[in-house]
Amino acid sequence: MTKEAGIIGYGAYIPIYRIKAQEIARMWGNNNGHVPIMEKAVAGIDEDLVTIAVEAAKYAIRRAKIDPREIGAVYVGTESKPYAVKPSGTIVAEAIGATPLVVTADFEFACKAGTEAFHACMDHVLAGRMKYAMAIGADTAQGRPGDQLEYTAASGGAAFIFTKKSDKTLAYCEGAVSFVTDTPDFWRRAHEHYPMHAERFTGKPAYFHHIVSSVKTLMETTGLRPSDFKYAVFHQPNAKFPVKVAKMLGFTLDQIKPGLLSPEIGNCYAGSSLVGFAATLDVANPDDRILLASYGSGAGSDAFSFVVQDTILEKRNPIPSVRSLISERKYIDYSMYVKFRGKIRA
């Protein structure tokens, strides 16, 4: 019996609308030109977490070439649920045709909610509880108008279908770690529209400490070194942090390049590292090893080592690559952005 879980299909989705960070800076009179990314992806007026999750999930099913009725779990990791009470997962499961014999839930853990669902999905399939399990990380993140987060809070997501490792899977997981502590770096109280963040916590003791700890633990338990990996993907709250954490851990720019998307799409929270992982799988070859390390405020980091399999070569077309999703874009100005995001309240 195999002891490893594999990925049989994945799909990403990024809305077509973009706003340039300079346009947001212009709105708030921040003319010194220091913006944390170039532009970010904005959900269209008829898009939300659910529609983004469904599009990513549909691409994942097409790539997996499986009957959606055989998916035993649909987990949606997010912090942008359209309903405060009513699971997003039920709508997603219905839309992809996985209902009614399916376990579904929304996972919450800031930006690591999607990778948190990876752990559950892998355990489900390894236990033989179900043939396939789907983990989605997606968000339509919002920052308070004028807040630093407004530059980066973006929309997008990715879906991954797990099953037992076989010659049909395109990559398998050889190690998984979750590193969690109680760290109040970022929060949103019930009934508040926008999150709060504690500046002194967002960098060193939060993002860097947790990712470094999860990745180092993964390295210790697997005996791997950074040079054993072809690629690495880190959570991307801005353009700088993932580059810095890669350096701290001994990874090069070449290793993180294919999955480093925050300069072009922003931080799509629970979708951030997962869209980067999807973009990396798009270019990876058999036997390549990929490190995936998420970060979720609150706080914690999941670290995984995936090994790419031969089947990856058959799984490329005709599903659009993350690169092609990024290149299909339409720019909007701040007034259109306000209309799209329903940001009349401040």
User: Does residue 16 touch other proteins according to CB under 8 A?
Assistant: yes
State the minimum distance, in angstroms, from the CB of residue 335 to other proteins.
15
| Continuous segment of H or E residues that includes residue 279 | helix 272-283
State the minimum distance, in angstroms, from the CB of residue 171 to other proteins.
26
Q: What is the DSSP secondary structure assignment for residue 246, as one 8-state letter?
A: H
Helix and strand totals (H; E) in the chain: 12, 14
Neighbours of 291 (CB within 10 A): 29
State the minimum distance, in angstroms, from the CB of residue 280 to other proteins.
23
With CB under 8 A as the contact rule, the residue among 37, 51, 298, 319 that binds other proteins is 51
User: Does residue 54 touch other proteins according to CB under 8 A?
Assistant: yes
With CB under 8 A as the contact rule, the residue among 39, 55, 79, 302 that binds other proteins is 55
Burial class for 168, CB neighbours closer than 10 Å (0-12, 13-18, 19+): middle
User: Does residue 56 touch other proteins according to CB under 8 A?
Assistant: no
Of the candidates 79, 116, 150, 264, the residue annotated as catalytic is: 79
User: Does residue 46 touch other proteins according to CB under 8 A?
Assistant: yes
Nearest-angstrom CA–CA distance, 67 and 45: 31
Whether residue 124 lies in the annotated active site: no
Nearest-angstrom CA–CA distance, 213 and 319: 35
User: Does residue 82 touch other proteins according to CB under 8 A?
Assistant: yes
Please, which of residues 267-306 interact with other proteins by CB under 8 A? none
Whether residue 173 lies in the annotated active site: no
Which of these ranges, 42-50, 135-143, 145-153, 304-312, lies near other proteins under the rule CB under 8 A? Answer: 42-50
By rule CB under 8 A, what count of residues binds other proteins?
Answer: 20
Strands (E), the chain: 5-13, 17-20, 39-42, 71-77, 103-107, 132-140, 155-164, 171-183, 186-187, 196-197, 231-234, 289-293, 298-308, 330-331
Helix (H, G, I), strand (E, B) or coil at 53: helix
Strands (E), 30-166: 39-42, 71-77, 103-107, 132-140, 155-164
Of the candidates 39, 47, 111, 121, the residue annotated as catalytic is: 111
With CB under 8 A as the contact rule, the residue among 91, 121, 134, 173 that binds other proteins is 91
Nearer to other proteins, 11 or 175 (CB): 11
State the minimum distance, in angstroms, from the CB of residue 139 to other proteins.
16
Closest CA to 20 of 210, 265, 276, 253: 265
Helix (H, G, I), strand (E, B) or coil at 193: coil
Maximum CA pair distance of the chain?
A: 61
User: Does residue 167 touch other proteins according to CB under 8 A?
Assistant: no
Please, which of residues 301-330 interact with other proteins by CB under 8 A? 328, 330
User: Does residue 199 touch other proteins according to CB under 8 A?
Assistant: no
Nearer to other proteins, 53 or 133 (CB): 53
Nearest-angstrom CA–CA distance, 299 and 294: 11
Which residues bind to other proteins, rule: CB under 8 A? Answer: 16, 44-48, 50-51, 54-55, 58, 82-83, 91, 94-95, 97, 328, 330, 342
- Active centre residues (catalytic): 79, 111, 235
